[in-house]
Structure 1
């Protein structure tokens, strides 16, 4: 724990100086200063100080925030707000913060411990203090970009190799004709020998090229791994103290809270973790502020008295996924919508047009000044927190969304690249222009027969199969969302498209062509000529052509605004794509036996259930807590490694967000004590495999559901 605190203090040393320097630079030119940026810096500094337990610095930062808040809320210009007297007061506050931080005891390793003069062997290696080497983040990033450029150059060598192989194939194809000419006496030179010599030389060139490329690739891999050792860190280094921070905040507010943090061993680039620290702090504070309810209210709703807050960190497909969820009342859609409308975010809506969808309203919660809080205090802020989160995440090329949880609570899902230098990009062409999209946002590439396109909800759509469920995905031209052509073009009777996915929402975007998928460097660039939120940046390809990298979340939001009626009707939502009127129930089957899992899956799917599989209790709990799918029932074996069925059942019933999910236990032992234990822990039913048959399983599930 001491090592974690030292790492956090070292991170705060860098972070607080960045905030102070940025504010001082802005105050140096008060007439052109960005008041919102100064306010954001003060707000972030306050949260960072709270996280490293520096209450004096937190209080000083809060005073700066308070002094600026009136100007920000009133919309005053920087020239009006930053009078010489106010600037002096702000500088005094910055100086006080700097003096307070400087007065805190030094980090481990900044002073040498007293040695033992009688110890001839010197201090032992394990007793030496940690050494902290501060490296400019830009230097590490530049090194990482250079490595990425090397990888791109290696991809170019693959093109050269392909050309050499085509040349050899051409030679082998024409050689027989050349030899035939020679046999007829039309050539006096030994053509056959010349062709064989040329073929040998080409084969030698190819072998040399392969060997050189392999050596370069190995060197690039070693370089990348070395860079990651320096630039990557475990999430614990930046998020390890946040559970304690929320517990301290809850204690100050008189709120009983149960906080759990999972996935702290997940590794990502330090720069990414550092950039996400403030956003995650904002989201945790929001979970506490908006999720807190009285004990009586929670009891009446069947919840445990303690507010449950969960922070989970995972790595998936090159993305760092951070989920913050609580079991409070959930987002107040009506209040958020009213605040957004007061800011004019939905424009002037005609009486006969569709209202904003819940998704669109929840997305508006990330706009400046939109808040569901009735009161302003140190915890809830002024509707600036979520806009700060969105801005920080967008700078990383990531995305963030707010969701309502079933049956209660809120969840925020934040996604950002594991590395700011490495982006897997799908390169496409639409309306004659080249674009790129991060591959994590593209579910799959589609080649659709034109006669499969139908009209649903007054707009084009296509029916797809996803996990054996029929999905009705809206079909829109990518170019239309970018302000271009609105027609869907079919080439040779087929339409090329990208299937985007965000939670349960699906959207197919028609394109001209999909060219390639590659890892390239994406740079933040302003003035790309697109609406805010549609572009993540730009990349330069090997032909030196600049390509705009699009934001999948921004495209989804643009479609939601453009097609409110279709979105409001539920078109594109996986949860509403069943071909029957009944809701498709999802069953999570948990068993360490592959044969048993396969058997149960086939039985249940034949009856119309959607089936998810897990190999043990740990795997099942991860699937349930990820929130990626709504599970209606868990069927779990008891004897499993890592976490058995009893422990899984206990964990489910102890989690307010999962407790409502019914659980059926299965075992090969017909032990009355096991049955009693399972029922006491909250199992809805108990099936013994000795007398297991298909009819009993289906009848039990039908009764429970």
Structure 2
């Protein structure tokens, strides 16, 4: 409308009519107000749609959360749901048998997968009854041993290192090894001349039909009963062991991967991915200046104080252990790491600490996950999956990383020099070093290479051991700087003793000055290696040449 009025004003031969111009401007204002009203209405509709969409998304999220919660409740139940009645059943059985027991149970409040508990129900009850049957002793025998009159049985359920552990412990007479051996030989499980090691004998009780009970009844059965236990545990990809307790008694321990449970997890980042570590396996979170890290045998080490003592532990990067690409550390950035309790403790360097959360741990994916180090999976916010790592598996992988590539070189070093291909007899190497970290690392490297290793804390300790002739030593690897008697003093004493004058000695030290090297070689060292330039292959090649 405003456009038509303006067109008439601008027509040919027309003058500027003030009234017409005013009318055109009024029409233009009216049109603009209409447009503004339309835009306002459109904005209100868009805002209303946005609110509706937000409400719908919130309702969907709430519904999904309720579904997840219900699914968890269906999948996870307290262990007491299945195992809670075992204590009363065992006490009734003991009363029927005229036996007195002191039963304690821990861990019944642990939430676990319902299906897992159902599979373990009968095997665990077997294990408890077996403890009652085979742990029982005459009252007089318990009195002579200083035990309380009642047989003590401890039934425990717990999480350790990313796995479910179920233990049945008693303070009875302990495994009857002679009876186990006799039964094993009678059944042909041991050949007539075969030595019967205790660990091997205890493994035989899981054979089908194996029993040392004098009479078979519903209670006896650290034989057939334990076969049932072993079959069930192995079907769940777990392990079971029987072992004597100190000072007396027996322990039956089942270790199983977790199929589903809610656990507190530490989320860390490595190689651009997020991983989860069981919170119970984390001893401490660490930040340390990289420039202050020590080194031992080519591996970074970190000294940590705790419990009134200082420990020096090797440092491994998580990306190294999981096989992920490692990000280059930012210059001047601190080392971010986790101190793990697993395997005596080691330091795990990560790129970042992300969060601590309590999450539902689901089974590890059947394809694509490294079963040696992965114990499960979790779903992070945003439906992002992350792998749950097994600290024990990481510790084993760290040990493999330390000795990677050693076995092949060691085999070459020990090959028959005559070219016949026959392996040389296993040699014994004496490692002498006052640093427990260096001793441990050297011992691990050499044992991985197939050598037998004994250790001493200084030169005097080594000299005394050699002169005592405790074992035949084929070669000595010694530090130089040590208390009481240093490496030079040890070498001098050995070369002066006719019995050890030809014993190969390798000096390995942080003192790499030409003067020190010359002194060591003049005193009769067969080789002189420096720790700053330590190379595992060089050490093994040198040992192979000297032996």
Shorter-chain TM-score category?
0.3 to 0.5
Q: Which has the larger helix fraction?
A: 1
Q: Which has the larger strand fraction?
A: 2
Q: Tell me the TM-score normalised to structure 2 length.
A: 0.43
Q: Tell me the TM-score normalised to structure 1 length.
A: 0.35
Highest CA radius of gyration, 1 or 2? 2
